Every structure is written in structure tokens, then in C-alpha cells.
């Protein structure tokens, strides 16, 4: 097909109007443009042809001047190369546009890093799908793997937005902590969370059954994350200690992907692990908490919540919530653990975050990397994380821990809700 071309740096870009016939070089045979997305990726991880990189998803993002599209991927740091955006414009392909490749600053020494690729949509192109090329024009006969462009504005009016989405970055190995996970999800429901997004590489059989139940109900959104098919993911956070290709099963990539996935559908996103509960201490729910915090701090888009460990080897002595009906359910009963460590203030202590997704560009695990607006560290008496797990300060004696029974304030509703879930799945005898 004979196609006119202009320099990438000239505007407007030349594109074929949707219904225009394109003539072959002998000027006698009309050629109908091919509908472009014949091969649309249905996977959460898509190898990028002619590179060592992987693409995850593409989003409309016009918050940064000069750009329309942000592609999120995992790129090998020693192989960064010039790339070009190639668009499907409803039913025809555009000219390519130049890109800006942005490696995230946190890589913890691993060969692969979360990477954003920014580019513009050509004029008059109603872009529906995008891919990246290593050259300025597609090769003849090459089959492109297209990514759908998400977060496009619709003409049907604004979609009703949820208040709160929880992003759980990674689930892997044989994790089978059914009881704690059911308690945590039901606790979040009581606090006003609308959706929990989980990136799942693998888990134990009982937890898998629980996840499927919550997914069918619509409360949990499971994103398949088969990263172990494409690289050797690390089980730790630092390359010098754990080795591997990428930090903690691609945790940083999934957190960023979840923020963009939630950007147009959720007012707030909570970034935390599967065993952490962001718990308000002066409010009955997260909406009341955030309404007050936002009123006090209208320019803040990132709220930092301090993590507090409740060691799982210390049990509340009365046994009030040591319920026999839960004894056969795999996992930890968080209601039995009321002793809380105070962090060692002499060393770095991590936070997790509640963010307004539209005010975040890039995030790490405990801090945002690029954002608009301000951030605020929420006081401990207002909100903190309840995190039942192995002790962090293992030398502390029981009398050096604080008693914290905040979870008990919800037990009248929490226990029946958990019972119903477990009973429906056959976990209760």
C-alpha cells in the first residue's frame, strides 16, 4: 500500500480518515483498510516484540502537558532503546509518534524496573488500541499485539465512582491464610471499601476457593499475574539479598497498574498488603475519616498511614475470641491478637498509603515517587495499620507491648459476616 509519510516531528500527523479508500501503487485496485486489533492482548503481561521488555497496560493520561497515553511495563534496565507509539484509530492505523521512556527511580538493584512510556495520539485519531514499535514504521507483514486504551472518557456521562478501592499488590507461593483473609475482607467491607483488587500469581487451594467466591460476588477483582512464566521474580525486596529479575514478584508494577486501573472509578485507593487493615481510630468508617482529613487538608493527595505490628505469637489471655467453630479453618484469627508493638523511632519505619489516584503519577511501596499536590502523615490517634504477623521487634517482652482492642469494636458484625462466608464454602464444621 502506498502511504504518504511526514516527519515524526511535524504536525499535524498524516492519518487515513476512517472511510477513505487507499489505492495501491498501480492506482487501479482499491484496498480496504484492515481493522487493526486483530490480535489484542488478553494477558496482564505482554512481551514486547524485538525487545527484552514486557508491557502491562495502557491508559489515557493527559495530566502531563504534551502527552496523551501512558503505557506501564517492566523494562530491562540495560536494554532501554528508542520506541514509537503505533495506534489503532477506530478502524485504521496511524503514523507512529515519538515516546518518552521513564524508568521509575526505585528498582532496588534488580535488572527489571517498572517503566512508563509516554506519547501523544496523532490528530484526528480516535485511538482505541496502542502498541510500541522499535522503528518509526511497522514492518510489512508483521503482526502487532495491541493493548486496549483504558480510562477513555465516554460521551455517556461520568461513570459513578466508588469511594474506596484496596490494591493488594501480589499473592504468590502457597499462601493459604483463609481465616485472616476472610476477616480482613469483611473488616474492609464494614469500613466502607467497595472493591479489592488482587494480583494473583499463585496461592493455596483453600484461599483460591475463597477468592473465587468473593470474585463471583464482585467485591474482589482478581488480576491474573503469571510473572513467573516470563522471568525469575524475587521473593524479596533487595537484589543484593535475594537475587532474581525483579523486585518481589513485580510488586511496584502492580501497585502502579492498580492506581491507573482505579483512576476513573474510585475516589481513593488504599495501597497495602493482604494482611494489613488501614484502621480509623476516631471514626467508624473510612469515608468519615477521609471526609474530615480532606476538609482539613484540601490540597493533599497522599495520606501516609503508619504500620503497626500485632505479633501473632502473643494471644489475648481470656480466650474470648478463641472460637471452636474456626479451629478447622486454615489461618490466623486476628481477634485473638491485641498486643501492639510501638515502632523503633530510631530507625526507618514504613508507612502505607491512602491516595487520590488522579493526584499520583508513580508510586513505590511506602512512598509516592511522582505526584501532584501535597502529602500528609496521618496522626497515630486518628488512623494506623493493624498488621497481625510475625513480630518485627522480636526482643520486646509482652509487658513492653501496648494493648489495642480496636478490632473488637466491630466484632458484633464482623463475626457473623465471616461465619456466613466460611459456612457457604464448607469451612465450618
Do residue 330 and residue 374 come from a single domain? yes
Beta bridge partners of 276: 387
Residue 32 lies inside a defined structural domain of this protein: no
Intra-chain end-to-end CA distance of the chain, in Å = 69
Residue 287 lies inside a defined structural domain of this protein: yes
Do residue 93 and residue 181 come from a single domain? no
Distance between CA 159 and CA 142 in Å, rounded? Answer: 37
Residue 200 lies inside a defined structural domain of this protein: yes
Residue 373 lies inside a defined structural domain of this protein: yes
Average confidence score pLDDT of the chain: 89
Across 14-18, 173-177, 226-230, the highest mean pLDDT is recorded for 226-230
Q: What is the pLDDT of residues 225-253, one digit of tens each?
A: 999 999 999 998 889 999 999 999 999 99
Among the candidates 150, 173, 193, a domain finishes at 150
Q: What is the pLDDT of residues 84-139, one digit of tens each?
A: 999 999 878 889 999 999 999 999 999 999 999 999 999 999 999 999 999 998 87
For the cut 80, the answer to whether the pLDDT of residue 54 exceeds it is yes
Among the candidates 120, 150, 180, a domain finishes at 150
Do residue 315 and residue 263 come from a single domain? yes
Residue 24 lies inside a defined structural domain of this protein: no
Do residue 361 and residue 225 come from a single domain? yes
**Total structural domains in the chain?**
2
Across 23-32, 36-45, 299-308, the highest mean pLDDT is recorded for 299-308
Residue 19 lies inside a defined structural domain of this protein: no
Do residue 212 and residue 305 come from a single domain? yes
- With H, G, I as helix, E, B as strand and everything else as coil, classify residue 420: helix
**pLDDT band at 7, cuts 50/70/90?**
very low
Q: What is the pLDDT of residues 392-415, one digit of tens each?
A: 888 889 999 999 999 999 999 999
For 74-232, where are the alpha helices, taking DSSP H only?
A: 178-191, 205-217
Residue 11 lies inside a defined structural domain of this protein: no
Residues 147-155 have a mean pLDDT of: 82
Q: What is the pLDDT of residues 93-103, one digit of tens each?
A: 889 999 999 99
**pLDDT band at 350, cuts 50/70/90?**
confident
Locate cell 482539613: which residue?
A: 296
- Do residues 137 and 5 touch, judged by C-beta distance below 8 A? yes
Do residue 243 and residue 285 come from a single domain? yes
CB atoms within 10 A of CB 348: 8
Of all helices (H) and strands (E), which one includes residue 254? helix 251-261
CB atoms within 10 A of CB 134: 13
Do residue 173 and residue 273 come from a single domain? yes
Q: Torsions phi, psi of 161, nearest 5?
A: -95, 145
Write the DSSP string, 195-231.
EEEEEES---HHHHHHHHHHHHHTSEEEEE--GGGTS
In which domain, by residue range, is 270 found? Answer: 162-425
Do residue 142 and residue 204 come from a single domain? no
27 Cβ contact partners less than 8 Å away, ≥ 6 residues apart: none
Do residue 57 and residue 189 come from a single domain? no
CATH number at residue 382: 3.90.550
Q: How far, rounded to the nearest angstrom, does the alpha carbon of residue 371 sit from its chain's CA centroid?
A: 16
**pLDDT band at 37, cuts 50/70/90?**
low
For the cut 70, the answer to whether the pLDDT of residue 34 exceeds it is no
Quote the pTM value. 0.89
Residue 23 lies inside a defined structural domain of this protein: no
Nearest one of 56, 204, 180, 202 to 130, comparing CA atoms: 56
Do residue 358 and residue 280 come from a single domain? yes
Distance between CA 372 and CA 358 in Å, rounded? Answer: 8
Do residue 219 and residue 318 come from a single domain? yes
Do residue 143 and residue 257 come from a single domain? no
Amino acid at each position: 500500500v502506498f502511504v504518504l509519510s511526514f516527519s515524526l516531528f511535524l504536525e499535524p500527523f498524516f492519518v487515513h480518515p476512517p472511510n477513505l479508500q487507499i489505492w495501491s501503487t498501480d492506482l487501479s485496485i482499491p484496498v480496504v483498510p484492515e481493522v487493526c486489533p486483530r490480535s489484542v492482548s488478553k494477558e496482564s503481561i505482554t512481551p514486547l516484540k524485538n525487545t527484552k521488555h514486557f508491557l502491562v497496560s495502557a491508559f489515557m493520561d493527559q495530566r502531563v502537558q504534551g502527552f496523551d497515553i501512558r503505557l506501564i511495563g517492566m523494562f530491562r534496565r540495560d536494554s532501554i532503546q528508542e520506541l514509537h507509539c503505533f495506534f489503532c484509530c477506530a478502524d485504521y492505523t496511524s503514523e507512529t509518534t515519538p515516546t518518552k521512556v521513564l524508568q521509575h527511580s526505585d528498582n532496588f538493584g534488580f535488572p527489571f524496573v517498572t517503566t512508563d512510556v509516554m506519547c501523544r495520539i496523532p490528530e484526528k485519531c480516535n485511538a482505541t488500541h496502542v502498541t510500541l514499535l522499535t522503528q518509526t514504521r511497522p514492518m510489512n507483514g508483521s503482526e502487532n499485539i495491541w493493548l486496549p486504551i483504558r480510562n477513555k472518557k465516554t460521551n455517556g456521562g461520568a461513570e459513578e465512582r466508588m469511594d474506596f478501592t484496596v490494591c493488594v499488590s501480589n499473592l504468590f507461593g502457597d499462601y493459604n491464610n483463609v481465616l485472616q483473609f476472610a476477616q480482613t475482607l469483611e473488616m474492609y467491607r464494614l469500613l466502607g471499601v467497595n472493591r479489592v483488587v488482587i494480583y494473583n500469581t499463585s496461592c493455596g487451594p483453600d484461599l483460591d476457593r475463597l477468592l473465587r467466591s468473593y470474585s463471583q460476588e464482585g467485591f474482589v477483582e482478581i488480576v491474573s499475574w503469571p510473572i513467573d512464566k516470563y522471568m525469575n521474580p524475587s521473593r524479596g525486596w533487595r537484589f543484593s539479598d535475594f537475587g532474581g529479575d525483579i523486585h518481589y514478584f513485580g510488586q511496584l508494577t502492580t501497585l502502579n497498574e492498580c492506581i491507573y486501573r482505579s483512576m476513573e472509578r474510585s475516589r481513593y485507593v488504599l495501597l497495602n498488603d493482604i494482611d494489613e487493615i488501614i484502621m480509623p481510630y476516631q471514626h467508624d468508617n473510612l469515608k468519615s475519616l477521609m471526609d474530615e482529613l480532606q476538609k482539613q487538608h484540601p490540597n493533599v493527595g497522599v495520606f501516609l498511614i503508619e504500620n503497626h505490628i500485632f505479633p501473632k505469637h502473643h494471644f489475648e489471655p481470656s480466650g474470648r475470641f478463641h472460637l471452636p467453630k474456626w479451629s478447622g479453618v486454615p489461618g490466623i484469627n486476628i481477634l485473638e491478637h491485641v498486643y501492639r508493638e510501638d515502632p523503633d523511632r530510631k530507625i526507618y519505619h514504613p508507612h502505607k498509603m491512602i491516595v487520590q489516584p488522579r493526584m499520583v503519577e508513580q508510586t513505590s511501596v511506602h512512598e509516592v515517587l511522582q505526584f501532584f499536590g501535597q502529602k500528609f502523615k496521618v496522626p497515630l490517634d486518628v488512623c494506623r495499620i493493624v498488621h497481625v504477623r510475625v513480630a518485627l521487634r522480636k526482643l520486646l517482652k509482652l509487658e513492653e507491648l501496648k494493648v489495642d482492642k480496636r478490632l473488637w469494636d466491630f466484632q458484633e458484625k464482623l463475626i457473623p459476616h465471616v461465619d456466613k462466608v466460611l459456612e457457604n464454602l464448607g469451612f465450618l464444621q
